[in-house]
Amino acid sequence: MPLLALLEKRSVTRAAERVGLSQPAMSHALTRMRRLLGDDLLVRHGPGLTLTPRVLELIAPLRSALQQTARIVNFPSFDPAVDDRVITVAITNSTAFVVGPHLVRLVVERAPNATLRLRTITVPTEATFTDQGVDVVLISEGHFSPYPRERLYDDRCAVVAAPDTPPDASALDLLTIQPHVVVDTDRRAFPYAVLEERQIPYRVGQLISDFLLVPFMVARAGGVALLRQRVGAAMQTLADLRIAEFPFPIPGLDRNPLLTDQYFIEWLRALLFDVAGRL
């Protein structure tokens, strides 16, 4: 559908290529849709195009309508053996560190002609669910989502500290005494909301833009960090870290289905649960 292609690609040229139209034909289609909907749909912002608030509301209903249409007209089934689509997964950095290798291997094995695009994020935003034709979003249950979601797997939170911290200090002691090394974002990522809700005092000592540097800075410069337990265990093989259980319950990992055809949805859902089973 031209409109959905335009909203997902945010480019007349790329949208035209996706649906098999010429660029002038897609430009005319955009003009007609703007007139029909009474909205600019796409507006110039710096070097690229952004979606208007009105159009952000349209993406999910459009995808749903196309999915229902596919069921009615009985479009051909998705065949992973020959399909050459780009499969786009939006995924947090920490989840990519754990899930990414398994996901890549299974896509190569089961859909050899497809291209897997991993869009790594630190904290999901509204654009996470709409940019670049995302097929599925993998985020912690602690992050807000405006879309339906499904539990993929459970993970715990780990308190990661330098190996020379006092051996008799509990996880809660480490959280309140040691300076925290955190990823530098506009708002504090999980699970700091849990600490704040419980009024647990803590102090941020370092802000780092690269998630993968956090455990190395902790191991070699001291302090404490909060990581997913699976991430912490993997990082422990690369750096000398002390790992303790986070003292409070936290949410697990969800998948947010934002997909466009039912056969592909079923295939990708099964693949993701196979990935989770290998962790």
Segment 74-114, tens digit of pLDDT: 555 678 999 888 888 988 887 888 888 999 999 999 999 99
134 assigned to some structural domain: yes
Q: What burial letters (b/e) apply to 221-251, b meaning 16+ CB within 10 Å?
A: ebbbbbbbbbbbeebbeeeebbbbebbeebb
67 assigned to some structural domain: no
Q: How many CA atoms lie within 13 A of 39 on its CB side?
A: 14
Mark whether 147 and 262 lie in a shared domain: yes
165-213 residue pLDDT tens: 998 999 999 999 999 999 887 766 668 888 988 999 999 999 998 888 8
How many Cβ atoms are within 10 Å of 14's Cβ, its own excluded? Answer: 16
Strand order in the sheet with 224-228: 204-208, 180-183, 224-228, 157-161, 242-245
For 114, phi then psi, to 5°, come to -85, 160
Give this prediction's pTM.
0.62
CA dist 124 and 145 (Å) reads: 8
Mark whether 149 and 260 lie in a shared domain: yes
Mark whether 164 and 138 lie in a shared domain: no
Mark whether 117 and 96 lie in a shared domain: yes
Q: What CATH number corresponds to the domain at position 34?
A: 1.10.10.10
- 227 in helix, strand or coil? strand
Q: Is the pLDDT of residue 73 over 60?
A: no
H or E, element range at 214: helix 214-221
Q: What CATH number corresponds to the domain at position 235?
A: 3.40.190.10
Q: Which DSSP symbol is given to 143?
A: S
Mark whether 126 and 181 lie in a shared domain: no
Query: What are the residues whose beta carbons fall under 8 Å from the beta carbon of 51, sequence distance 6 or more?
Result: 7, 10, 41, 42, 59, 130
Structure tokens at 251: 């949410």
**Total count of domains within the chain:** 3
55-67 residue pLDDT tens: 777 776 776 666 6
